[in-house]
């Protein structure tokens, strides 16, 4: 065994999922849900975004707990929190910081902006001009700021949550398609149900509940590395690639209606995002392997802001979610099989080395058949460390 294989094995064992990790994540979500009533999907997706090292774009009306959710997570994880209200007169230095001349000492001091925090809420990001949006999105991608020739890294973990108000169109600067692609998720935050709103009234009475700290930054980084080592079978990776390819060439799959609705499909960043988020979701739900349900559940949140609709779609009142549903109905899921694939896929012209999933992990193939027992499967090309989801 080579030293590289030894290092890979050591890394996988170091970041192996344990029951204490599962308990920590469950306790973290419990503490958040003590404060946030309802919005279970929002609460889970924020944690998934953190573990996948992605950023989140929220679209919802005011007052549906977007800000409170981020503040509560900052408390639970023990990180710093900043909120920036984006306005038309905001300039990039208000966000990233600047150098200030101290006349008494005759020298410059660096004043870091609010973007340097573990959790940043960019409230109504579409109200700021394009140069401010670009400054923030550059920080999201590069994870550092440069002021006066000096580079300052972002603290780890680093999560940006940007909000948009869907009911206002005046005085806004919509995010360009290329900048929206930097967000891992776009979450639609709706009003609470009647029962949930009644519970909000009772719970937020004289003494609103406060969350307790459960994690720390170091533990969160370790859990991010654990999520990057969650097992993803190559059949699921192939399914994700086929879904993304279907958004680019829908006519080849007989989806001529979708071909008329889409101007541009999703980029490879969407493929990476779905796989990374699926790993994180599996970890949140206490598994060290990804199942098809994880992938299918996350695809709409990863794709809805990346698909560029045509004028025909706008005329037909077809939204991105309808297009995604049509694609998922067309692209078949891999079938669960009791036997490993006879021929492993090739990567760069060579078959990957054989590697079995851990006990209890499923094997998938394109053929039918239920999974009757844990079966050895071929190694997937996506397994291993994925240290960073690009922006």
Contact by Cβ (8 Å): 133, 84:
no
The more confidently predicted of residues 345 and 177 is 177
Q: Are residues 210 and 262 in the same domain?
A: no
Q: Are residues 160 and 265 in the same domain?
A: no
Q: Are residues 215 and 243 in the same domain?
A: no
Contact by Cβ (8 Å): 138, 178:
no
Of 220, 255, 283, the position where a domain reaches its end is 220
Q: How many helices (H) and strands (E) does the chain have?
A: 15, 13
Residue 109 pLDDT exceeds 90: no
Taking only the tens place, the pLDDT of each residue in 249-265 is 999 989 999 999 999 99
Of 168, 202, 220, the position where a domain reaches its end is 220
For 347, residues 6+ apart whose C-beta sits below 8 A from its C-beta are 381
Q: Are residues 59 and 136 in the same domain?
A: yes
- Three-state secondary structure call for residue 273: helix
The answer to whether residue 4 sits within a structural domain is no
Count CA within 13 A, CB hemisphere, residue 275: 32
Residue 157 pLDDT exceeds 90: no
Q: What is the CATH number of the domain that holds 177?
A: 3.40.50.300
The percent of residues above 90 in pLDDT, for the chain, comes to 37
Q: What is the CATH number of the domain that holds 295?
A: 1.10.8.80
Residue 98 pLDDT exceeds 60: yes
Q: Are residues 248 and 177 in the same domain?
A: no
Total tally of structural domains belonging to the chain: 2
What is the domain extent for residue 120? Answer: 16-220
The answer to whether residue 350 sits within a structural domain is no
Residue 4: band (very low, low, confident or very high) from pLDDT cuts 50, 70, 90:
low
Q: Which is nearest to 391 in space by CA: 174, 115, 142?
A: 142
The answer to whether residue 242 sits within a structural domain is yes
What does pLDDT average to over the chain? 82
Of 170, 192, 220, the position where a domain reaches its end is 220
Residue 107 CA: distances (Å) to CA of 98, 100, 113, 147, 152: 14, 8, 19, 15, 19
Quote the pLDDT of residue 135. 87
Quote the pLDDT of residue 391. 38
The answer to whether residue 103 sits within a structural domain is yes
What is the spatial distance between Cα 269 and Cα 290, in angstroms, rounded to a whole number?
A: 19
Quote the pLDDT of residue 165. 81
Taking only the tens place, the pLDDT of each residue in 355-381 is 445 545 565 554 433 333 333 334 444
Quote the pLDDT of residue 166. 79
Taking only the tens place, the pLDDT of each residue in 263-275 is 999 999 999 999 9
Quote the pLDDT of residue 17. 82
Model pTM greater than 0.75?
A: yes
Quote the pLDDT of residue 108. 79
Q: Are residues 208 and 274 in the same domain?
A: no
The answer to whether residue 54 sits within a structural domain is yes
The more confidently predicted of residues 242 and 168 is 242
Q: Are residues 63 and 184 in the same domain?
A: yes
Residue 333 CA: distances (Å) to CA of 109, 139, 238, 243, 336: 57, 36, 10, 10, 9
Residue 305 pLDDT exceeds 90: yes
Residue 9 pLDDT exceeds 80: no
Q: Are residues 207 and 59 in the same domain?
A: yes
Residue 6 CA: distances (Å) to CA of 44, 187, 244: 35, 40, 34
Taking only the tens place, the pLDDT of each residue in 50-92 is 999 999 999 988 888 888 888 899 899 888 889 999 988 899 8
């Amino acid at each position: 065994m080579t030293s590289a294989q030894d290092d890979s094995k050591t890394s996988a064992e170091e970041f192996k999922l344990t029951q204490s990790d599962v308990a920590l994540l469950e306790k973290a979500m419990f503490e958040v849900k003590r404060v946030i009533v309802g919005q279970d999907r929002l609460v889970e997706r924020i944690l998934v975004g953190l573990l996948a090292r992605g950023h989140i774009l929220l679209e919802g009306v005011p007052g549906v707990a977007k800000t409170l959710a981020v503040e509560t997570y900052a408390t639970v994880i023990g990180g710093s929190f900043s909120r920036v209200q984006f306005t038309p007169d905001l300039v990039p230095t208000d966000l990233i910081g600047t150098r200030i001349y101290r006349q008494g000492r005759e020298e410059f001091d660096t004043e870091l902006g609010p973007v340097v925090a573990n959790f940043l809420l960019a409230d109504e990001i579409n109200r700021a001009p394009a140069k401010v949006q670009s400054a923030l999105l550059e920080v999201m991608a590069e994870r550092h700021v440069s002021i006066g020739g000096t580079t300052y890294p972002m603290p780890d973990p680093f999560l940006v949550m940007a909000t948009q108000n869907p009911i206002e169109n005046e005085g806004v600067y919509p995010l360009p398609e290329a900048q929206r692609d930097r967000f891992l998720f776009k979450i639609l935050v709706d009003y609470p149900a009647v029962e949930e709103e009644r519970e909000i009234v009772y719970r937020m009475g004289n003494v609103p509940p406060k969350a307790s700290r459960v994690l720390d930054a170091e533990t969160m980084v370790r859990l991010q590395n654990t999520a990057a080592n969650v097992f993803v079978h190559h059949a699921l990776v192939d399914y994700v690639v086929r879904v993304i390819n279907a958004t680019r060439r829908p006519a080849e799959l007989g989806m001529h209606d979708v071909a008329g609705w889409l101007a541009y499909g999703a980029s490879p960043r969407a493929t990476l995002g779905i796989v990374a988020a699926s790993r994180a979701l599996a970890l949140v739900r206490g598994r060290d392997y990804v199942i098809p349900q994880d992938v299918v559940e996350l695809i709409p949140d990863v794709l809805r802001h990346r698909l560029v609709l045509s004028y025909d779609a706008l005329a037909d009142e077809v939204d991105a979610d309808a297009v995604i549903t049509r694609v998922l109905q067309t692209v078949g899921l891999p079938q669960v099989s009791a036997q490993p694939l006879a021929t492993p896929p090739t990567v760069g012209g060579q078959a990957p080395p054989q590697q079995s999933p851990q006990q209890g992990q499923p094997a998938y193939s394109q053929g039918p058949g239920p999974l009757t027992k844990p079966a050895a499967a071929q190694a997937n090309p996506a397994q291993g460390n994925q240290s960073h989801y690009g922006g």
